[in-house]
Amino acid sequence: MRLVVVGNGMAGSRLVSEVRARDPHMRIAVFGAEPCRPYNRVLLSNVLAGSSRPEQVRLVDASWYEAHDVEAVLGATVTGIDREGGHVVTACGRREPYDLLVLATGSDAIVPPIPGVERAIPFRTLGDCERIVAAAGHARRAVVVGGGLLGVEAARGLAGRGLPVTLLHLAGHLMERQLDVEAGEVLGETLAGLGVEIRTGVSAEAVLEDGVRLAGGELVEGDLVVLACGVRPVTWPAERAGLRVRRGVVVDDELRTDDPSIFAIGECAEHDGTVYGLVAPAWEQAAVAADVIAGGKARYRGSRLVTRLKARSVELAAMGETQLGEEHAEVVRFSHRARGTYRKLVIRDGRLVGAILLGESDVVGTLTQLYDRGGPVPGDRAGLLFPGSSATPVADSPTLMPDAAKVCQCNNVTKGQIRACWEAGARDVAAVTAATRATTGCGTCRDAVEGIVDWLCEQEGVSV
């Protein structure tokens, strides 16, 4: 059986490792358009901020492919799929036969069609990130266009390097897809306190040598302009091959396209009308597709999304239906703008269907578990937001957290799995990470994993 994977990013590389874990003999070739080994795109904001080096966000060691008998063709764009002949064609003319094909082509950065946009740098790939860091070294002021998740992370990272930053956003408040109006405003106030000037409700009309011209003629000064205007699924290889495409490449519960020998996963795939833009669904899809490819009967039923902002001095988690108001759901809300704190629970039919937690909070783990499981919400609603004020237990504490509690959302790792690998000899975070992949997604669970490992060591009197 010959498996070809088109795309060697976070989805494609995970699919390859999942298939190899299930089938040691299948012939596997993976084609990556980028010339480098796969890396954790989620952690690029850390590279931009200077808290991580590029080599620290790599997902695969250089020797992994040879050790696992996988052919990796890097810097090779697949330009065509011959479904009748059963092979793919690269830009350099290579023709690779397949029995099964997986499309993991991801997304491209959206570049607005405005004059001078070539002067700006998109924030999407590791190469983009390295260009931004190099330019920041001699820039006097930066402008970030786009106030979604990536734009906020980029602005905070550049401000952390000492650059004055202006963040421009078309919508009326930041991260409007994940946050309601007040949460977006509180986030903007928090960023302003960290050195980022926020301009919402504005449209970039042109990129000039000395900044960005807004609609209406105003010039926002900056000699470094970064684009974070969203992403668009890369679907053209599938479209050229005649596969069914809407917003993404349409797949069923086995992640198959309308051609049963071709699968699609990650940001390029559309399942049940949804295109997911986060890493956890991509990795869940990779596991399901790998099971099916290896002869199993797994099914993908969709993912529950939890968005975490990874910016120094800014704590934010958002999940589910955050935009609902009192007319459609029970809403529990607390706001303390002077402290940069905003907490909101959205409850419907006695279950948590959405939440926003902005500012330092010790209840993220508890609420994430409630949302992820869809279990009933305790009657003491206020106790969920302020656990110290009631008898409501805090599941973030290792001693109170049940073994079924999910610690790493990106990789579906529970406390029980961490306990099991600790009992098998994994006595530090690095060993737990190697055994379970916990902490390798967005990285926000690292403190929780460390706390569980430390607690287990204390219980057994083990010194590390």
Position of tokens 């579906």? 412
The SS3 of residue 183 is helix
- CATH label of the domain that carries residue 367: 3.30.390.30
- The model's pTM is 0.87
Q: Kindly give the confidence (pLDDT) of every residue in the chain, 464 residues in length, as a single tens digit, with 9 standing for 90 and above.
A: 999 999 999 999 999 999 999 999 999 999 999 999 999 999 999 999 998 899 999 998 889 999 999 999 999 999 999 999 999 999 999 999 999 999 999 999 999 999 999 999 999 999 999 999 999 999 999 999 999 999 999 999 999 999 999 999 999 999 999 999 999 999 999 999 999 999 999 999 999 999 999 999 999 999 999 999 999 999 999 999 999 999 999 999 999 999 999 999 999 999 999 999 889 999 999 999 999 999 999 999 999 889 998 777 899 999 999 988 888 999 999 999 999 999 999 999 999 999 999 998 778 888 888 898 888 888 888 888 887 544 444 445 565 677 777 788 778 788 888 888 877 778 788 888 878 888 887 777 787 788 888 878 877 666 65
165/224 same-domain check: yes
Within-domain flag for 302: no
103/240 same-domain check: yes
Which of these three, 229, 259, 284, is where a domain ends?
229
| Helical ranges in 137-245 per DSSP H | 149-160, 181-193, 236-240
Which of these three, 360, 393, 426, is where a domain ends?
393
The domain tally of the chain equals 4
Within-domain flag for 306: no
253/273 same-domain check: yes
Backbone angles phi, psi at 56, to 5 degrees: -80, -10
Position of tokens 């060697």? 8
Which of these three, 246, 262, 293, is where a domain ends?
293
- CATH label of the domain that carries residue 218: 3.50.50.60
270/337 same-domain check: no
Task: Report the DSSP beta bridge partners of residue 251.
Answer: 271
- CATH label of the domain that carries residue 463: 1.10.10.1100
Domain span at 248: 2-108+232-293
122/149 same-domain check: yes
- The closest of 315, 45, 364 to 187, measured between CA atoms, is 315
SS3 content of the chain, % helix, strand, coil (to 5): 30, 25, 40
- The closest of 347, 283, 350 to 320, measured between CA atoms, is 347
The SS3 of residue 436 is helix
282/384 same-domain check: no
Within-domain flag for 303: no
104/237 same-domain check: yes
Q: Which two tokens stand for residue 255?
A: 């992640």
